[in-house]
Structure 1
Amino acid sequence: MGVAFGLLGPVAAWSAAGEPLPLGAPRHREVLGRLLVARGRVVTVDRLVTDLWEDEAPAAAVGAVRTFVAALRRSLEPGRPPREASRLLVTQGPGYVLRAGRDAVDAWRFEDAAQQAGTAAPQAAVALWDAALALWRGPALADFPSARWAAADRARLEALRLHAVERRADALLATGAAREAAVDLEAHVAAQPGREDGWVLLATALARSGRRADALETVRRARRALAGEPGAEPGPALARVEAQILKGSPAAEPAADAGIADGVWGRAAAAWERSVPARSRARLHATAGLLRDLAVTGADGLAEAREHRQDVVAAAEATGDAELTARIIGSYDVPAIWTRADDPESAGKLVRAAARAAAALAPGDTPALRARLLSVIAVESRGDAAADTPPAPTTAPPVLEAWRARAERSTEEAVRLARRLGDPTLLAFALNGAFMQSFGHCGNSTYREATGRELIRLAEDHQLPGHEVLGRLMRLQALAAQGDFATAEAEAEATDRLAAQHERPLASVFTSWFRALRTCETEGWTAARPLYARALAVTADCAMPGLARGAGALVALVPVLRAEHALPRSDDFDGLDAGPYQPWLEPLLLAGAGAADLARQALDRVPRPPHDLLQEALWCVLARSAQAVGHTGVLRRAVEELTAAQGELAGATSGLISFGPVAHHLLAAERALAARG
């Protein structure tokens, strides 16, 4: 319609020519803000009344809301004929929906720009962060600072803004602009003294600017500031940067040899181009190795490696050389901890390519290569990524799907071959596959904890730092499921140290989530909430859509599922993308909205939860929905599945969230079944 909207500051609207549109009284702007926050979902008139008059609505509230909407329509579409229906602010069912595209709302443009900046090279990222931050005109939803309907979006957007400020500074540091970064960061930590990342970046910027004494004083200031902030305390990152400054390490000071290293890289690359013929197999081997190394460098590298890996495999298959193809596919032994594939379609293609390559190898001639291919099948068949048929409904009896049987057989043979060959690198890869295939049923944390311990010992003995990080994250997740948070925290600290030492930046994404989970279990939801906001902001830039999509909806479920018999309010999930978890959340949201018949219908068709780190959590969500609407079939199946995990915390094996003890959810489901006879 050519109308633009603003949430990053006072609620506003502009015409196609950029002229501010008169929105009328505060109540008119509040209705507009509330509809924008709903992100294209219908907001009922009753919901608008409740949100606008939080204490007690006047008798004429419904008529007032309709008057406000009519006034907004005149302001937003001044040229619309009187009897023509609005195409922008639309009446739909019992309420209204605002049809605005993503590029029409400043908050949504900010989110998209931030995502783009998070995957850009440093120089380009600085410009993108600048453009994103320039959209802010003041605090989000500034004219409604105390409105409960705005609280969640205001907090989320502010967390993203603070994260953007820090990532812009990080990009500046990467380009060598340490002095410019230091100036901006001084203002940032003054306004946000509770953000450890800001202090760490400031100390780093000062050190790289040659101001070592100021950098050390900043670390001391940070400790005092964090100690005085509720819910904040100095973490390992601050200790690491202090140690780096004291040692005078390259991480804290300008890298004098950076130009030399870049020059060597450039000369070597040029020599490679001159010396190695185009379309040679050596180029395929080198490209595959580069992609493997690129995948562990951070979000940018991971996204690039994922994009190009399939092309390299296709190029190898095109040669018709089965052994070459097998070596190209099997060379990608990048440690993987998250069980939902970032790109399920590509994962399925890789599994099928690996299976073809394994079948083409001569039996018994290349056991190590065969073990690598089988490990690829096991790792890439994570969750339901390799499923070639839709999962059966939850109400159907459990079956072992053919693709899962193949993945489990591949895992067993890969581990057996690797042990027989005595190859530590090969065994580490096979154990990663075993971890991915350990989710055939609920409650398997003891096995995963033992697998993590074995992987840690193997990695320490044979200098495999990437797999040591993986093993420690495996143990962290399993220990969290068992409620052993002290030992899990020790693994988180060890993970952070290893990640800093060996440049594995994505590991900190998982430790930040774990600390939010631990805080929720030990101090409660209120204390954990800001830590979850921070974890979500970090995850948004990690180039792992399999982890990031729907994560906000999982967090929103935490206080609901931890409360006995609670159901979500109809607007609890406004503006949240449930992503891949939508099928399992839908019945609960319908039950919370009072639509019991629709919830039962959704439970009739909902597929069984994927075999992944969140399966216990999703079974608990289904059990809660089934209790609310009396769906006996789903209740029985949930009890069957969850019984094996009754000694664990629901969802905590993910290292992300916990819905409390599985035993509590089981007891509630069993009582609901007993009540129905």
Structure 2
Amino acid sequence: MRVEFGVLGAVGAWDEERTPLPLKGPRHRAVLTRLIVARRQVVPVARLVADLWDEPPANAVGALRTFVGDLRRGLEPDRPPRTPSRLLVTEGAGYALRAAREDVDAWRFEETVNALGDAGPARVLERTTEALAWWRGPAFADFGDERWLRSPRARLTELRLHAVELRAGALVALGRPVEAVPELDAHVTDHPWREDAWRLLALALYRSSRQADALSVLRRARAMLREHLGVDPGPRLRRLEEDILRQADRLDPDAGTAAVDQVWARATAAYEGALGSRARTRLESTVGLMRDLAVTGGGGLEAARRHRVAAVAAAEQLGDPELTARVIGVYDVPAIWTRSDDPEQARRLVAAAERTLRSLGPAGQDAARCRLLATIAVESRGTLPRDLPPSGALARPSQAAGQAEEIARRLGDPSLLAFALNGTFMQSFRRAGLAGRRDAIGAEIVALAAAHGLVRYEVLGHLIRVQARCAFGDLAAADRHAIAVDGLAARHDLPLVSVFTTWYRALRTASTGTREAAEAAYEEAAASLVGSGMPGLEAGLLPLARLCVALRHGGGPPRATADSDWGPYEPWVRPVLLTESGLLDEAAEALRTVPAPPRDLMFEAMWCLLARAAIATGDTGLLTKAHAQLAPAAAEVAGAGSGLITLGPVTEHLTAIESALR
């Protein structure tokens, strides 16, 4: 049974027929809401207890388990006894709500609005109208000012206001300003500090042939801003007033944009007419578009991922393995981060590539096989090299990377080789201390891409070298590669690239500047991630960076605390937070069950955090393991190989471990 959850109003849950499901009392709803706020991540029992009660009773943990049991029965009434819940799951020492993204109205709303990107006004109007209709009242309406709700409530409220303004702007752009006026008038009355809303209202009035009213609105905005905030209107409001006074031509609908839209419509119609019902050609063309869309920004990247999986599924339904191989393999978007943005989609793509490889057979189609193998290697990022392949799989991801590289070199195809080397990079984390190997991969990609005009791969190669040079503490060389990346991105309109160079410069500040400067740099870097469409990178990164700054610079507790959303890093951060709070027994217990860190760009950093906690608790067994794992990286800087954070030289951590083991 599908269950929908709603928090855009009073918290509720409904079955497939929109029948409300019983959630019982306020504490039950609080547990469910706290898990929704965690966005599918595990929330430890201790965290839930602390959030549910200001002063937890002696039986708090038992009461929490009762609430969870009641919720499970309410949400899955037909679940057989003694079978695990598929929605409210127990994982480790905590709980998680594993609802699908589309089944939680807040998640669906955020994804819809953030995905609009550069969408045309008709699409914006359609999607914002639909999304705003999901609101039934203020977000989390049946809760007060709980600490853990402040940030998600503020984020959703801000996004709703943004959606209202997007919708109004779309109405104006579509030549329907009269419809936008009453909505915008109510909007500025309720939210008088939003300058863009005042600007849209004045523009809508002007385009409704109400010039005097438009000027009156701008005067009201100026008076309000000066009287209550002590500031003058911003440049966009001032420019609009000047344009209205002189009735500037540019206030009329943009003729240039209309001409572009007309050309696009005609070209689309010609394309449709030429292809007719040729589904195979359409599929290949669609994936080619998705490849370009993926580098345009957050909404484009998310849409590309979603449509790519649908295209692969459609190709498989046609029963043509050669077509499926082309549809899978043409999406050769360079990948730099070692954690997937959507692990479930990645697993589906890998499974499809495996099936297609088997269908192609052993002979011929070398280029197609190469692209399928490279896809497996890239999409299996974050998979531990020591993991066994899934049942029926043809090879480990690391073996797939090697096979793809061998085929590409034999064929002498530069674009194939660049894609294969991306897979080799993604599988180059079998142990610590391999920054030199990755630096060589990056150097080959840069040379290959520059020689053959593969701009996106040239960017990838430079970014790999930024990471590798940071791992060796060679910031001067990292600077050169970051500058090259920014230059390529500016010339070729690659907006997502600046996320990585902005974070690199924050790392640089953390390595050479004060604690205050480092924290400010990371705040700026975190802002670059908003709307980027890269949850695999964004989740937990800012609090982790803050923690690393605090541990490196000292001088007080980190700004990132147990209240932060640590995302995928929580298991390895929690013991350190407990030791920093003096809770050594709890830290020791956490260390006894902590899993080994994933072998990715954060591998050395996570082991250093574990080592710090193990030193504080006297866990000699874990210290011995940490020393063995970190020793190959003795010449590197912990965490800096990510190009994002730093915990200082690995030798410092090894020395501390050795002292503790004496």
Q: Show the counterpart of 2:482.
A: 492
Report Cα offsets for 1:520-553 as digits up to 9, x if no partner: 1111321121121111122131111101111122
Question: Matched residues in 2 for 1:545 and 1:653: separation?
Answer: 20
Contact 1:38–1:574 (Cα < 8 Å) also in 2? no
Structure 1: runs of 5 or more not aligned: 6-36, 48-86, 100-108, 132-149, 192-200, 211-253, 388-397
Q: Show the counterpart of 1:459.
A: 449
Go from structure 1 to structure 2 and tell me whether the alpha carbon gap of 1:42 and 1:505 turns closer, same or farther (over 3 Å shift): same
Q: Tell me the secondary structure at the aligned position of residue 505 of structure 1.
A: coil
Question: Matched residues in 2 for 1:279 and 1:582: separation?
Answer: 49
Q: CA deviation at 1:466?
A: 0.9
Q: Show the counterpart of 1:580.
A: 568
Question: Matched residues in 2 for 1:542 and 1:461: separation?
Answer: 30
Query: Quick check: 1:619 aligned with 2:607?
Result: yes
Query: Quick check: 1:673 aligned with 2:661?
Result: yes
Q: Show the counterpart of 1:520.
A: 510
Q: CA deviation at 1:556?
A: 2.5
Contact 1:561–1:621 (Cα < 8 Å) also in 2? no
Question: Matched residues in 1 for 2:301 and 2:652: separation?
Answer: 39
Q: Show the counterpart of 1:304.
A: 303
Amino acid at match of 1:454: E
Q: Show the counterpart of 1:470.
A: 460
Go from structure 1 to structure 2 and tell me whether the alpha carbon gap of 1:451 and 1:176 turns closer, same or farther (over 3 Å shift): farther
Structure 2: runs of 5 or more not aligned: 1-6, 11-36, 62-66, 68-104, 133-146, 175-194, 201-220, 226-233, 244-252
Aligned ranges for residues 79-228 of structure 1 at < 5 Å? 91-93=55-57, 117-121=113-117
Amino acid at match of 1:673: L
Q: CA deviation at 1:421?
A: 0.8
Aligned ranges for residues 486-565 of structure 1 at < 5 Å? 486-562=476-552
Go from structure 1 to structure 2 and tell me whether the alpha carbon gap of 1:325 and 1:579 turns closer, same or farther (over 3 Å shift): same
Question: Matched residues in 2 for 1:334 and 1:311: separation?
Answer: 17
Contact 2:522–2:546 (Cα < 8 Å) also in 1? no
Q: CA deviation at 1:605?
A: 2.1
Contact 2:506–2:518 (Cα < 8 Å) also in 1? yes
Q: Show the counterpart of 2:367.
A: 368
Q: Show the counterpart of 1:657.
A: 645
Contact 2:515–2:549 (Cα < 8 Å) also in 1? yes
Q: CA deviation at 1:593?
A: 3.5
Q: Tell me the secondary structure at the aligned position of residue 414 of structure 1.
A: helix
Which of 406, 410, 422 does residue 396 from structure 2 map onto? 406
Q: CA deviation at 1:587?
A: 2.0
Question: Matched residues in 2 for 1:498 and 1:477: separation?
Answer: 17
Question: Matched residues in 1 for 2:571 and 2:111: separation?
Answer: 26
Q: CA deviation at 1:255?
A: 9.3
Go from structure 1 to structure 2 and tell me whether the alpha carbon gap of 1:488 and 1:658 turns closer, same or farther (over 3 Å shift): same
Report Cα offsets for 1:260-291 as digits up to 9, x if no partner: 43322211212233333447211211222121
Amino acid at match of 1:120: L
Go from structure 1 to structure 2 and tell me whether the alpha carbon gap of 1:516 and 1:125 turns closer, same or farther (over 3 Å shift): farther
Which of 412, 416, 423 does residue 433 from structure 1 map onto? 423
Q: Show the counterpart of 1:335.
A: 334
Aligned ranges for residues 70-81 of structure 1 at < 5 Å? none
Amino acid at match of 1:445: A
Contact 1:42–1:92 (Cα < 8 Å) also in 2? no
Q: Show the counterpart of 2:29.
A: none
Overall identity of the aligned pairs, in %:
46
Q: CA deviation at 1:181?
A: 7.0
Query: Quick check: 1:644 aligned with 2:632?
Result: yes
Q: CA deviation at 1:400?
A: 5.5
Question: Matched residues in 2 for 1:314 and 1:289: separation?
Answer: 16
Go from structure 1 to structure 2 and tell me whether the alpha carbon gap of 1:414 and 1:544 turns closer, same or farther (over 3 Å shift): same
Go from structure 1 to structure 2 and tell me whether the alpha carbon gap of 1:255 and 1:514 turns closer, same or farther (over 3 Å shift): farther
Contact 1:623–1:669 (Cα < 8 Å) also in 2? yes
Q: CA deviation at 1:292?
A: 1.4
Amino acid at match of 2:404: A
Query: Quick check: 1:424 aligned with 2:423?
Result: no
RMSD (CA atoms):
5.1
Question: Matched residues in 2 for 1:438 and 1:535: separation?
Answer: 27
Question: Matched residues in 1 for 2:444 and 2:349: separation?
Answer: 27
Q: CA deviation at 1:632?
A: 1.8
Q: CA deviation at 1:184?
A: 7.8
Q: Show the counterpart of 2:380.
A: 381
Q: Tell me the secondary structure at the aligned position of residue 396 of structure 2.
A: helix
Amino acid at match of 2:314: A
Report Cα offsets for 1:84-142 as digits up to 9, x if no partner: xxx98664248999x9xxxxxxxxx99998776433245587998xx9xxxxxxxxxxx
Contact 1:38–1:575 (Cα < 8 Å) also in 2? no
Q: TM-score, normalised by structure 1?
A: 0.65
Q: Tell me the secondary structure at the aligned position of residue 92 of structure 1.
A: coil
Question: Matched residues in 2 for 1:625 and 1:274: separation?
Answer: 65
Contact 1:115–1:540 (Cα < 8 Å) also in 2? no
Question: Matched residues in 1 for 2:9 and 2:527: separation?
Answer: 25
Deviation larger for 435-444 or 353-362:
353-362
Q: Show the counterpart of 2:271.
A: 272
Question: Matched residues in 2 for 1:663 and 1:550: separation?
Answer: 26
Q: CA deviation at 1:567?
A: 10
Question: Matched residues in 1 for 2:621 and 2:370: separation?
Answer: 41
Deviation larger for 118-127 or 325-334:
118-127
Question: Matched residues in 2 for 1:176 and 1:445: separation?
Answer: 51
Contact 1:341–1:383 (Cα < 8 Å) also in 2? yes
Contact 1:560–1:568 (Cα < 8 Å) also in 2? yes
Query: Quick check: 1:596 aligned with 2:584?
Result: yes
Q: Show the counterpart of 1:326.
A: 325
Q: CA deviation at 1:667?
A: 1.1
Q: TM-score, normalised by structure 2?
A: 0.66
How many residues align? The count is: 519
Go from structure 1 to structure 2 and tell me whether the alpha carbon gap of 1:368 and 1:111 turns closer, same or farther (over 3 Å shift): closer
